[in-house]
Amino acid sequence: MNAKDIISSGKAILGIEFGSTRIKAVLIDDTYAPIAQGAHDWENRLENGIWTYSMSDIENGLRDCYKSLTKDVWNKYGTKITRLAGIGFSAMMHGYMAFNDDGELLVPFRTWRNSITGDAAKELTGLFDYNIPQRWSIAHLYQAMLNKEEHLKDISFFTTLDGFIHWKLTGNKVLGIGEASGMFPVDIDTKNYDARMAEKFNALADKKGYDINILNLLPKILPAGQNAGTLTKEGALFIDPTGTLESGIPLCPPEGDAGTGMVATNSVRERTGNISAGTSVFAMVVLEKALKNVYPEIDLVTTPTGSLVAMVHCNNCTSDINAWINLLKGFLDASGIDMPVSKLYEALFNAALLGDADCGGLLSYNYLSGENVTGLDEGRPLFVRKPDSKFSFSNFARVHICSALASLKVGLDILNDNEDITIDKMFAHGGLYKTPVVGQRLTAAAINAPVSVMSTAGEGGAWGMALLCAYMLDKKADQSLEDFLSDNVFKGDEGTLVKPDEKEVLGFNEFIKAYKQGIEIEKSAVLNMK
């Protein structure tokens, strides 16, 4: 069947992901290839010290994204979407959305970007002997207890952004296991929340005056491949107020952007890993066994099927590069030079390969927000040089790309230096890799390992979410997600491989030494720039 027939007959599959700066929709056909896309740009904002998106941002963003998709479908194929084979929703992991019995949001959505739960995260990490990062949902809940927040007397349920969307559209309070593992620790043997840690948390909450059972407040866990409900009539109208989209469409378990990134790069099998570099940057390594130690810089989450994953998550990546691009664009406009932004990015990235391997002594800190890996609760974007630094455009370009990868390297070095971990393949995807070779080459230098970028990696998490929905619908009996992706979707596609250059590895190591020493400059900026 051609794409028009697949859409008209209701056999297309839709994945939608709420990213940090863009909500993206991808429609795929029966070969798992994208046939239409839609998008809505948005941005979180700092309100009363909280990084958040409003409820209207979420609702209007979803509708506008879906409307953009239907417009793309009409322009390409002259048909409308009335029914779909399945839908899957994904979003930024972690954060905190708390509701009362009437389904009302009790406090503004607290996103992963917030660094306001330091006391809670530290205490829970000690209690569980398991790293609980500040952005995890349970850290937000316990910090609210420490703060004695009024809304806790009314809380009956809390979830993440994709969990909320899924609940809104199906009535089911569920999460995929990978997303759930970023709310509260998961037992990889039972594929459920860790019962021992839940008991410890309940006892701790009781001491603080809160008589709760944490397991009754959390969404139900579902592994990939299970049916997670169907689109209600109200849900269909919520997505498409025109009434064109029919109800009754099956939905797969909602997953976080970490899980969809693993799926989109075919890195859900043990001893594989992936790096996702956009507004934030994170690396995922699927483990063969548990880590020997607890590290505050390393999260333990799971794949969408529940395999253990070591995750290095950094809050800041490309946003500062985007800010510099806007500055350069302003200069060109003022000079009467019309250059598309895409060409500016290309020029900046390609110039970086001409820079010195150690960035010529320049330093950049891309911290728009705090960075747990390097111990910062707040951020101040900072560019620093010494009088004798080699201040050239190529070094300027290179240092900003290296800065986007620096915190990630700090975290991965902990794994490499302290744990016996083997990685057979490392895949990369996200905005940092749109310009061919550059981001890939500097990433290989940062982690001192070969890095592959697939031709499909640019499709991103929305495509990965659509694939998870396809797995629910198309898998053979007892077919694992790993085999489904390898045999049905990627079919031997290993991507384009770049191996680390020894000179660039040594140069990045020199840069990272100076970067670590300069963290004190960043801390001073936070203290003195209020």
Residue 107 DSSP symbol: S
Q: Indicate if the pLDDT at residue 88 is higher than 60.
A: yes
Residue 313's pLDDT is what?
A: 87
- What does 171-220 look like in DSSP terms, one character per residue? S--EEEHHHHTTTS-EETTTTEE-HHHHHHHHHHHHHTT----HHHHSPE
Query: Are the C-beta atoms of residues 40 and 239 closer than 8 Å to each other?
Result: no
Residue 458's pLDDT is what?
A: 58
Query: Are the C-beta atoms of residues 258 and 91 closer than 8 Å to each other?
Result: no
Q: Indicate if the pLDDT at residue 151 is higher than 70.
A: yes
Residue 115's pLDDT is what?
A: 85
DSSP 3-state assignment of 36? strand
> Which residue bears the tokens 């940092």?
432
Identity (one letter) of the amino acid at 111? T
Residue 272's pLDDT is what?
A: 87
**Contacts for 385-390 with beta carbons within 8 Å, 24 or more apart?**
385/361, 386/361, 388/361, 389/360, 389/361, 389/362, 390/356, 390/360, 390/361, 390/362
Q: State the pairing for strand pair 272-277/425-429.
A: parallel
> Which residue bears the tokens 């896309």?
37
Q: Indicate if the pLDDT at residue 457 is higher than 60.
A: no
Q: 362-391 b/e with 16+ CB inside 10 Å = b?
A: bbbbbbbbbbbbbebbbbbbbebbeeebbe
DSSP 3-state assignment of 112? coil
The C-alpha angle 344, 61, 74, rounded to 5 degrees, equals: 80
Express each pLDDT in 115-145 by its tens digit.
Answer: 899 999 999 999 999 999 999 999 999 999 9
Q: Per-residue confidence at 239, pLDDT binned at 50, 70, 90?
A: very high
- Residue 47: CB atoms within 10 Å: 11
DSSP 3-state assignment of 453? strand
- What does 133-156 look like in DSSP terms, one character per residue? -TTSHHHHHHHHHHTT-GGGGG--
Percent of the chain with pLDDT over 70: 99
Burial (CB count <10 Å: 0-12, 13-18, 19+), residue 346: middle
Supply 363's token pair. Answer: 């330093």
Express each pLDDT in 211-221 by its tens digit.
Answer: 999 999 999 99
Residue 456's pLDDT is what?
A: 67
The C-alpha angle 96, 97, 102, rounded to 5 degrees, equals: 155
Distance CA 311, CA 275 (A): 10
Express each pLDDT in 397-417 by its tens digit.
Answer: 999 999 999 999 999 998 888
- What does 347-394 look like in DSSP terms, one character per residue? HHHHHHTTS-TTGGG-EEE--SS-BGGGTBSS---EEE--TTS---HH
Supply 54's token pair. Answer: 């409003």
378-402: average pLDDT? 97
Q: State the pairing for strand pair 13-18/272-277.
A: unpaired
> Which residue bears the tokens 């349970």?
138
Express each pLDDT in 279-334 by its tens digit.
Answer: 889 899 999 888 999 998 899 999 999 999 999 989 899 999 999 999 999 999 99
Lowest mean pLDDT among 70-74, 349-353, 390-394, 444-448: 444-448
Q: Is the dihedral of CA 180, 112, 120, 159 positive or negative?
A: negative
Express each pLDDT in 177-197 by its tens digit.
Answer: 999 999 999 999 999 999 999
Closest CA to 18 of 164, 222, 213: 164
Residue 271's pLDDT is what?
A: 86
The helix (H) or strand (E) run that includes residue 16 is strand 13-18
> Which residue bears the tokens 């010494």?
386
The backbone torsions φ and ψ at residue 452, rounded to the nearest 5 degrees and listed phi first, read: -110, 145
Number of C-alpha atoms within 13 angstroms, CB side, residue 150?
2
CA separation (Å) from 317 to 108, 114, 208, 211, 307? 25, 15, 37, 40, 27
Distance CA 464, CA 258 (A): 10
> Which residue bears the tokens 């190529």?
394
Closest CA to 215 of 187, 184, 190, 189: 184
Q: Indicate if the pLDDT at residue 425 is higher than 90.
A: no
Distance CA 427, CA 60 (A): 33
Greater confidence (251 vs 416) lies with: 251
502-530: average pLDDT? 96
Greater confidence (429 vs 171) lies with: 171
**Contacts for 212-219 with beta carbons within 8 Å, 24 or more apart?**
214/138, 214/184, 217/141, 217/155, 217/156, 217/157, 217/158, 218/158, 218/159, 218/180, 218/183, 218/184, 218/193, 219/157, 219/159, 219/163, 219/167, 219/173, 219/174, 219/175, 219/180, 219/183
pLDDT, mean over the chain: 94
